[in-house]
Amino acid sequence: MENQKIGCYICTGCGIGDLLDIKLLEDMATKESRIPVVRTHAFLCGEEGLTTIRHDMQNEAVNTVVIAACSPRVHVETFRQLEAPLLDRVNLREQVIWVQHLKEEDDKDVFEEDRQMAAEDYLRMGCAKVKKMDPPEPFDDPGLSKTIMVVGGGVSGLTAAKEAADTGYDVVLVEKDAELGGRVAQMLKVSPVKPPYDQLEQPPTAALIAAVEGHDKIKIYKKATIKETTGAPGLFDVKIEYGAGEYSTGEDSTGEDSTGEDYSTGEDSTGEDSTGEDSTGEDSTGENSERIGAIVVATGYTLYDETKLTHLGHGTSPDVITAWEFEQMAKAGNIVRKSDGQPAKRVAFSLCAGSRDVQHLEYCSGACCTYSMKQALYVTEQYEDASTFLIYQEIRTPGQMEDFYRKVQNEGGVFIKGDINKVASGSNGGLTVDINDKLLRTPESLDVDLLVLATGMMPNIDTTDPNQETDLSASDANSVLNLQYRQGPSLPLLKWGFPDSHYICFPYETRRTGIHAAGPVRRPMGISSSMTDATGAALKAIQTVESIGRGAAVHPRVGDLSYPSFRVDGCTQCKRCTEECPFGAINEDDKSNPLFNPTRCRRCGTCMGACPQKIISFSNYSVDMISTMFKECEIPEEDEEKPRILIFACENDAYPALDMIGHNRGILTPYIRVVPLRCMGSMNLVWVADAMSAGYDGVLLMGCRHGDDYQCHFVRGSALAETRLNKVAETLDRLQLESERVKMIEVNIMDSDILPDKINAFVDDLEAFGPNPFKEF
């Protein structure tokens, strides 16, 4: 940073002043780190402390603030008030005095000397760090759009479109069919979506369609497909091909392409006038291009293929039908045996038909129990002397559906826990279902007129392998969005084919920034949950367009204004960054140079860790910055018997876990020096080599759990770090060092109780190898 003037503020509160020699720290900062303004305060986070800093910023032209006090994870807002161009924190409290403290039973302060050394090292690192930082300049583009595109016009898509438009955002709704409403519109009734949650209700789609079609902020494309999606969040250009005459807006188009012409209102959108005046597309071509800010994917589900369910009797008799067939039968108002048209008064429902079954769908769809109960009520409503049987594994009625379960029981629905062993045609024309009844613990034989198979849901999403290389010019027929991303046209999928990123921690996030999944395409769910989900995804999409409008990152580094820059003249076209980016942010130009899309970026730094040429860096986070930091630490001479272990800790989970050891006043070995990383994915192997040649005895990497049940906040960062580490043995061999000196462990945010032992075990391992021979140099 030009004209940088650093102010270093050491807080003596919370016991820091009692356990550290503050005078020595001040001298070190002034003389060794050459910081022009060094001050001590007893209560920096208080108003008086802040005023001291503000005073220096105004009168001494301090523009870079180093605060040596508590963890950077606390008092974030307090110090943000200073609005300093650059600010960094040195963690003297949680990771020095609170983990190397005086125990009551000790008569001697065993950590006295080591603690002071640690504090000095951390202060050195903090001062060195800010010298390598520049204030980030947010990305801006005049073409940034805040329009939200919703893909899918079912109950989830309609809800998302309505919620986003009601909040004031322009919405483009794309539906592949000629009519809106999706599956729910084709249902007779739906399970309750509002209190008291025990009555069948009319499908909510009619009201939603009316609201959406009449909304002046919503543009609708019907019979539409997305030919391609180019660009990045805020700057997506989406080519939509739609059926002739199937394009409508509300009464007054407010989109950027508005020409003030009369668009049809939703109510009479079927007329030929609806597309003629559009400035970007002609009716005859039926193709339009939209500039989109964020996308909500609400493409819904496909039901599991019932023909695979022969073990439940599918195919043995026409009276074994799917729940969807039964729904249509009930909607036609005539529940009868399909075989002979006799009234079907005894109806059995097979729940979990093909679900929670390793041969079929391994997961629970969470909605089949509820919709079967609903259908049982259809039978009771049509026939007074109806008998309904729900054959289940476990009843799962998430959300508010427990009251509905009671309602169905009260109406006489009989619930039988058991497995269907055999289905055969009965003597009187119906079916005989042999059940292994787990409640009576006996085999029972049930005579029914119909057996309804409640099949589970599969996401309607791309089936292509997201990791395979794809020709960018080819449009993939299987892909919903046809993303023009270097990593492929599809959304990366989780286990079982759902395009989520981590559905507990980061709901509605896919692994493509600005593209949010909602409803059963994200995870199987019922109508009520889908509507809640769609609202959540709409809010996420709004958050995306707003953050990107300010040049800021979205989840999980919300508000971060920095983004990587690429010194392309140093690039060797190795493609590691374009391949490894967990979010597909980097495309390639025709010479295989990286083409970076700032608004797709989540700022994890995985590209920076991947680059062997060190050409990728952030203004406030770079390979050089981290290297300089840990090289600043004093490495004691071999005969002092004070080993030094460098820890790279993921700042999302591992760093807070280390802080928590301090909060619990645990003890950590004083031989470690912790450097927080944005993500283990940003770990560049150069650091390991540098640390070894600087004389560190070992390097410990603390990343999140990876694999199927990963906890990495950037999806693949910790997994990539582990892969890179496998290559480090070679480097160490070249230096003639034991490769076990570098180790990676998985750390969970809850691991503070076992973490000291894990670190100590590593220190013990290192002792066996003896000191790093490079200390000499």
Partner 1 sequence: MAYDLSFAKDVYENAEEGHWIKMCMQCGVCAGSCPLGPHWEFSPRQLFQMIRAGKAEEVLKSESMWMCVSCYHCMVRCPRGLPITHIVHGLARFAVEKKRADKDQVTRRFAKILWENMERGGRIGEMALTTKLYMVNGIPDGVKKGMEMKDQAMSMLKSGRLKMDPLHLSRIRGHAGFKAMLKKAREIEQKKRES
Chain residues in the site for partner 1 (CB under 8 A): 387, 389, 395, 405-406, 409-410, 412, 414-417, 437, 439-440, 444-447
Distance CA 292, CA 145 (A): 6
- Quick one: tokens of 36? 């022009």
Query: What is the widest separation between alpha-carbon atoms in the chain?
Result: 100
Least spacing, CB of residue 370 vs partner 1, in Å: 15
Residue with the two structure tokens 């960062």: 717
What is 708-752 written as a DSSP string? TT---TTSSHHHHHHHHHHTHHHHHHHTT--GGGEEEEE--TTGG
Question: Whole-number minimum distance, CB 374 to partner 1, in Å?
Answer: 18
Q: Least separation, in Å, of the C-beta of 403 and partner 1?
A: 12
Q: Do the Cβ atoms of 409 and 390 come closer than 8 Å? A: no
Q: Pick between residue 399 and residue 430 the one whose CB is nearest to partner 1.
A: 430
Q: Is 50 helix (H, G, I), strand (E, B) or coil?
A: helix
Q: Report the run of H or E that residue 769 belongs to, with start and end.
A: helix 755-769
Instruction: Indicate the residue among 2 and 385 with the shorter CB distance to partner 1.
Output: 385
Rounded to the nearest 10°, the torsion over CA 82, 88, 90, 91 is 80
Q: How far is CA 770 from the centre of its chain?
A: 43
Compute the CA torsion angle 677, 682, 688, 693 (nearest 10 deg).
-80
Angle (CA) 55 58 63, round 5°:
105
Residue 441 or 591 with smaller CB distance to partner 1:
441
Q: Give the Cβ contact number of residue 553 at 10 Å.
A: 24
Tokens 């599918």, residue located:
314
Of 446 and 517, CB closest to partner 1 = 446
Among 437, 383, 433, smallest CA distance to 412 is for 383
CB half-sphere exposure, 596, CA atoms < 13 A: 20
Q: How far is the CB of 398 from partner 1 (least distance, A)?
A: 16
Nearer to partner 1, 3 or 410 (CB): 410
Residues 6+ apart with CB under 8 A from 582: 511, 602, 604, 606, 681, 714, 715, 716, 717
Gyration radius (Cα) of the chain, Å: 31
The distance of closest approach from Cβ of residue 248 to partner 1 in the complex, given in angstroms and rounded to an integer, is 48
Q: Which long-range contacts (CB under 8 A, 24 or more apart) does 476-484 make?
A: 480/151, 480/226, 480/297, 480/299, 481/151, 481/226, 481/229, 481/295, 481/297, 481/515, 482/226, 482/227, 482/228, 482/229, 483/228, 483/229, 483/512, 483/584, 484/228, 484/229, 484/230, 484/231, 484/587
Number of other CB atoms surrounding residue 605 within 10 Å: 29
Least distance (Å) from partner 1 to the CB of residue 442? Answer: 9
CB of 760 to partner 1, least distance (A): 45
Nearer to partner 1, 59 or 410 (CB): 410
Measured from the CB atom, is 433 or 635 closer to partner 1? Answer: 433
Q: How far is the CB of 414 from partner 1 (least distance, A)?
A: 5
Q: In what order do the strands lie in the sheet with 515-517?
A: 247-249, 218-221, 171-174, 148-151, 294-297, 515-517
Toward partner 1, which CB reaches closer, 117 or 408?
408
Can you tell me the distance from the alpha carbon of 474 to that of 485, in angstroms, rounded to the nearest whole number? 12
Nearer to partner 1, 439 or 750 (CB): 439
As measured in angstroms, the least distance from the Cβ of 387 to partner 1 is: 5
The residue among 15 and 426 lying less far from partner 1, judged by its C-beta, is 426
In the complex, least distance from residue 528 CB atom to partner 1, rounded to whole angstroms: 21
User: Which residue, 375 or 380, is less far from partner 1 as judged by CB?
Assistant: 380
The count of C-alpha atoms lying within 13 angstroms of the C-alpha of 499, restricted to the half-sphere facing its C-beta, is: 33
Q: In what order do the strands lie in the sheet with 64-69?
A: 37-41, 6-11, 64-69, 86-91
Smallest distance, partner 1 to C-beta of residue 375, A: 18
Task: Kindly tell me which of 428 and 573 has the beta carbon lying closer to partner 1.
Answer: 428
Peptide bond just before 594 cis, omega within 30 deg: no
Burial 50-72 (b: 16+ CB within 10 A, else e): bebbeebbeeeebbbbbbbbbbb
Taking the least distance from each CB to partner 1, the nearer of 447 and 651 is: 447
Tell the smallest beta-carbon distance from residue 197 to partner 1 (Å): 16
* 58 vs 427 by CB, closer to partner 1: 427
Q: How far is the CB of 432 from partner 1 (least distance, A)?
A: 10
Smallest gap from residue 445 Cβ to partner 1 (A): 5
